[in-house]
Amino acid sequence: MNDNLFSIGDVSRILGITRKIILNYETCGLVAPDVKNGINGNRYYTIDTITKIRIIRLFQSYGLALPEIREYFAGSTDLISLVHRLEAIRDRLNDNINSLYERIATSDIKISQITVPAQTVCARRKVSDNLQEKTDFLRDTAMIAITKYKTDFSKPQYFIEFNYKNPSDILFCATVDSNSCGDDIVTMTSKNALAACHYGSYQNIDHTRTHLLQYADINKIPHTGDFREVYLEGPPQHSDPNKYITNIYLFLK
């Protein structure tokens, strides 16, 4: 084979992406193998195609969808429309940032209703009432996740789930790539939830949970009683527990 051609395995290794991503780009009409042996044969790509894939990855990092990138390559759209879309994303991010600043500026617990997106996790269950034991078990789960699987950094990394009627029976979770497979891999479906942010030590986190339950009862919002606590910032970032930040979700029926 020509030394100027690269196999799909070569391209995958060079760019640090999976073969599935490259094949998905082909399915979407973004790239095509420069040489293909037979209908289902080996695929080979030139440096120009590798460069195009790099550009696709760059545009994706800007927040553009694959159909938008395809239209751009086809000349059926222009950059200004893509810029306007990015500006809209920026404005939404600014709104979210301002919302977080509002939370920090007040001691009141602010509650919102959200949709928690689906995600794939490495999950292990343990029954415990001991805070240090639970912390150590979550760390162990995180170690298993990063050593056995590829991490998905686009989603919150570590969280636990439990029902308020049996808070000692806990599912410890660490986010992994959606393509991960294994006995400890679980796909969490998308769910609606009441959400609140807890600032400070885990010792008094029950206050925020209770506030969510009371809010649901007062407003007659049916819920499952299942909580998810997502650790945004904790011991790895802060020696002062007062600086810990935890998102708490109460899932709805």
Residue 59 falls inside a structural domain? yes
Q: Are residues 122 and 69 part of one domain?
A: no
Residue 15 falls inside a structural domain? yes
Residue 243 falls inside a structural domain? yes
So what's the pLDDT on residue 232?
78
CA nearest neighbour of 49 among 28, 26, 72, 65: 26
Write the CA distances from 229 to 20, 59, 106, 156, 161, integer angstroms: 32, 33, 21, 11, 7
Q: Distance between CA atoms of 68 and 245, rounded to whole angstroms?
A: 36
Checking if the pLDDT of 106 tops 60, the result is no
Residue 236 falls inside a structural domain? yes
Cβ-proximal residues to 250 (8 Å cutoff; 6+ apart), any chain: 193, 194, 195, 209, 212, 213, 216, 223, 225, 226, 227
Q: Are residues 170 and 226 part of one domain?
A: yes
So what's the pLDDT on residue 123?
95
Write the CA distances from 60 to 53, 119, 217, integer angstroms: 10, 19, 42
Record the tokens describing residue 50, joined without a space: 């590798």
Q: Are residues 40 and 84 part of one domain?
A: no
Residue with tokens 């790539």: 177
Q: Are residues 136 and 223 part of one domain?
A: yes
Residue 237 falls inside a structural domain? yes
Work out the angle at residue 71's Cα, subtended by the Cα atoms of residues 66 and 75, and round it to the nearest 5 degrees: 150
Q: Residue 114: what are its φ and ψ, rounded to 5°? A: -135, 170
pLDDT digits 0-9 by tens, 132-157? 898 889 888 988 888 888 877 677 78
Give the residue-averaged pLDDT of 77-82: 70
Q: Are residues 68 and 52 part of one domain?
A: yes
Query: What CATH number corresponds to the domain at position 195?
Result: 3.20.80.10
| pTM of this prediction exceeds 0.85 | no
Count of domains for the chain: 3
Residue 1 falls inside a structural domain? no
Q: Are residues 163 and 42 part of one domain?
A: no
Go through the chain and tell me how many residues it has.
253
Q: Are residues 128 and 227 part of one domain?
A: yes
Q: Are residues 130 and 21 part of one domain?
A: no
pLDDT digits 0-9 by tens, 6-45? 899 999 998 889 999 999 999 999 999 999 886 667 889 9
Record the tokens describing residue 185, joined without a space: 């891999």
Range of the domain at 99: 78-106
CB 124 within 8 A of CB 137: yes
Q: How many CB atoms lie within 10 A of CB 219?
A: 10
Q: What is the mean pLDDT of the chain?
A: 85
Q: Are residues 151 and 86 part of one domain?
A: no
Q: Are residues 242 and 123 part of one domain?
A: yes
Q: Are residues 226 and 157 part of one domain?
A: yes
Query: What CATH number corresponds to the domain at position 40?
Result: 1.10.1660.10
Q: Distance between CA atoms of 204 and 43, rounded to whole angstroms?
A: 58
Q: Are residues 67 and 22 part of one domain?
A: yes
pLDDT digits 0-9 by tens, 192-209? 999 998 888 888 889 999
Q: Distance between CA atoms of 199 and 6, rounded to whole angstroms?
A: 51
